[in-house]
Structure 1
Amino acid sequence: MNYNYLIIGVGLFGAVFAHEAHKRGKSVLVIDRRPYIAGNIYTEEIF
């Protein structure tokens, strides 16, 4: 498959960029070693 963008390491900027590109009809492949996006702003629990 072909993609318009390949994003490696989905921190905050990568996540926002992928979302905005997808909204504009672009295909995006996101790769990160973590099982979640947005890097260090990730939260497992909400108190």
Structure 2
Amino acid sequence: MGDPGRAARIGAETPLRRAGEPEEIAAAIAWLLSPDASYTTGTVLRVAGGR
């Protein structure tokens, strides 16, 4: 994030008080692609830090 103001706004607006890390988004995607998610259909998985 090149804009420090943007990072501060995300922190202020997100219950976890920080932006997500790429690894956290990747973990959700990996889960969706795994057999563990085979019974998951018709839903939205929001990876948004509680926002």
TM range (shorter): 0.3 to 0.5
TM-score for the superposition, normalised by structure 2:
0.33
What TM-score, normalized by structure 1, do the two folds share?
A: 0.35
